[in-house]
Amino acid sequence: MSSILSIKNLEKTFVSTGEKLTVLSDLNLEVEEGKKIVILGESGSGKSTLLNIIGGIDSITAGSVIAGTEKSGKWKVSELREKELCEYRSRFLGLVFQFHYLLKDFTALENVCMPALIAGVPEKIAREKAEQLLQDTGVYERKNHLPSELSGGERQRVAVARALINDPSLILADEPTGNLDPANAGVISGLLFNMVEKYNKTLLLVTHDMKIAENGDEIYRILGGKLAKENGGK
C-alpha cells in the first residue's frame, strides 16, 4: 500500500497577546491508502486543529504535511495558494463535521449535488450520483426535504453523502457524531465506516468516543501534542 498522507515533525503554535500556546509538537503520522485511522483525544488536545491543518484551514508553525499519491497528484498542503487549496479540497478531500453545515434553503438532494456542480460536473450526472449516494446512506425517500424537516441523524446521513459526491480520496471526519444521542451516534458512525469501505476511501476520523474508535484499522491518541499508537482497531 502506498502512503496517502505523510505528516512529519508537525508543530502548531498559537500566539495571542504575546502568549504562546503550542498545541501540536513534533507530531508524525503516515497513513496508507485505504486505511481507516481514528485519533482520540480530550477536548483541547489538538485533534480538530490537526484535521484543520490537513484540510488547509489552519497554517502550520513547522514541519510538513504532504497529501496525495502518484495517481491523484501530491500536495504540500502548507504551501498551497488559495486557488490550489480550492482544487485540493474539491478533488482530494471529503469533509464531515460535528455540525452538518447543510444549506438551509436547499433540499437534501440539492445539498449533496452542490459540491459536484461547483466542480463543474453536469447537472444530470451530479443528480444521478447524488441520488445513488442518498440511496446508499438510507435517506433517498427524504431527498426533497429541507434540512429543517430532517432529524439530526438524517442530516448527518446527507452530510456523509455530500462528502462522497466528488469521489475524494481522503475523508476527514471531525467528531461526526458529537451532536447525536448514543443510539444515533452508533448508527451514523457505522454508516460512515461502511460507506468508506464500500467506496474504497481512506478515512481519518477524530473522536473522544472509544466505541467509535474500535471500528478503525489503527487508533492513535494525542498526548502532549504528539500521537501515540493505541492497542485496538481491526
Per-residue pLDDT at 1: 63
Per-residue pLDDT at 233: 58
pTM above 0.85, yes or no: yes
Q: Does residue 36 register a pLDDT over 90?
A: yes
Q: What angle do CA 69, 200, 46 make, to 5 degrees?
A: 70
Q: Does residue 124 register a pLDDT over 70?
A: yes
Per-residue pLDDT at 211: 84
pLDDT in tens, 100-109: 788 999 999 9
- Give CA–CA dist 57/72, Å, rounded: 21
pLDDT in tens, 190-223: 888 989 889 999 999 998 888 888 889 999 999 8
pLDDT in tens, 167-190: 999 999 988 877 777 887 888 888
- Give CA–CA dist 96/83, Å, rounded: 22
State the cell numbers at 121: 460536473
- DSSP state for residue 61 in the 8-state scheme: S
Residue 196 near residue 203, CB atoms below 8 Å = yes
Backbone conformation region of residue 138, classed left if phi is above 0, alpha if psi is from -120 to 50, else beta: left
pLDDT in tens, 63-107: 999 998 877 678 899 888 888 888 888 889 998 887 778 899 999
